[in-house]
């Protein structure tokens, strides 16, 4: 997929505790990777080819999933989760199943790309194919 501009949401706020240093380092590395690969960071309200959610901050799981997964199927953009310190794994485990199911319908789950390494996350987002395209490419009905 063409990845020229991404929206970045979440991220470490304040300082200290709960893996903040690791999250801040990963966020800085991600920004460096995006810059090195010529990918711009979209401003609020600007169009973007995908979304990357950073660990930390005050974004709730519901807000995160709405931000990542809202939109029509014609506008299937990937949502990358930078999973530093298993931040999102732990968040998903701690959340009630109904919250996840409410926002992440099965048809949308294929839009989530989860990686611990910023370089691998950007690579996976560049290689992303929307779920329907993947099914068609594999010859599924």
Question: Looking at the DSSP assignment, which residues form a beta bridge with residue 52?
Answer: 8, 80
Tens of pLDDT along the chain (141 residues) come to 689 999 888 887 766 566 778 888 999 999 999 999 999 999 888 889 988 988 877 666 666 666 666 654 446 788 888 998 888 886 666 655 555 565 555 555 667 888 999 999 999 999 988 776 545 555 555
- Boundaries of every domain in the chain: 5-133
* pLDDT at residue 74, rounded to an integer: 40
Supply 49's token pair. 């080819």
Domain spanning 5-133: which CATH class is it, in words? alpha beta
- In three-state secondary structure terms, 116 is coil
What is the value of pTM for the model shown?
Answer: 0.77
pLDDT at 72 (0 to 100): 42
Q: From CA 48, how far away is CA 120, in angstroms rounded?
A: 19
């Amino acid at each position: 997929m063409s990845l020229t501009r991404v929206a970045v949401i979440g991220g470490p706020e304040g300082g200290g505790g709960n893996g903040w240093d690791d999250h801040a380092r990963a966020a800085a590395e991600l920004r460096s990777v995006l810059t090195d690969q010529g990918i711009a960071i979209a401003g609020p309200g600007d169009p973007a080819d995908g979304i990357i959610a950073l660990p930390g901050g005050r974004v709730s799981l519901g807000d995160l999933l709405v931000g990542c997964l809202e939109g029509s199927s014609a506008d299937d953009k990937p949502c990358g989760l930078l999973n530093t310190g298993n931040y999102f794994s732990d968040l998903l485990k701690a959340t009630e199943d109904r919250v996840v199911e409410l926002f992440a319908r099965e048809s949308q789950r294929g839009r989530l790309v989860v990686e611990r390494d910023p370089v691998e996350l950007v690579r996976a987002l560049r290689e992303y194919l929307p779920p329907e395209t993947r099914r068609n490419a594999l010859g599924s009905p």
